[in-house]
Structure 1
Amino acid sequence: MQKWEYVTVPLLVHATKQILDNWGEDGWELVQVVPGPNPEQLVAYLKRPKA
């Protein structure tokens, strides 16, 4: 059975692509993006296979 690890990452709207690209380089896959605590921030949920 595949096991996963998860992380939540704050995203700034002016740097979203750069932040997600950096996490993607480390093997993290984007699952969902939800609104953050203020209008200029989002929160990304990511996962990757557990080693």
Structure 2
Amino acid sequence: MTQHTRWEYSTIPLLIHATKQILDQWGEDGWELVAVIPGPEGANPVAYLKRPKAA
């Protein structure tokens, strides 16, 4: 039987002046960037991330 990867997801607000630092930190923790969309009312963008769930 094939095992499927289980994912966990997170959303984080991005501060324009610190976007790279924020994404680098989450990347160090194993998170992969999936998408970035505008935040509510055009405020700071929101990053959607995923990583494999621990077994």
TM-score in same-fold range (> 0.5): yes
Q: Which has the higher strand share?
A: 1
* Regions of 4+ moved over 6 Å: none
Tell me which structure has the larger Cα radius of gyration: 2
Structure 1 residue 26 and structure 2 residue 49: aligned? no
Gaps of 5+ in 1: none
Structure 1 residue 16 and structure 2 residue 19: aligned? yes
> What is the TM-score with the length of structure 2 in the denominator?
0.86
> What is the TM-score with the length of structure 1 in the denominator?
0.92
SS in 2 for 1:24: helix
Residue identity over aligned pairs, in percent, reads 73
Q: Tell me by how many angstroms 1:33 deviates.
A: 0.2
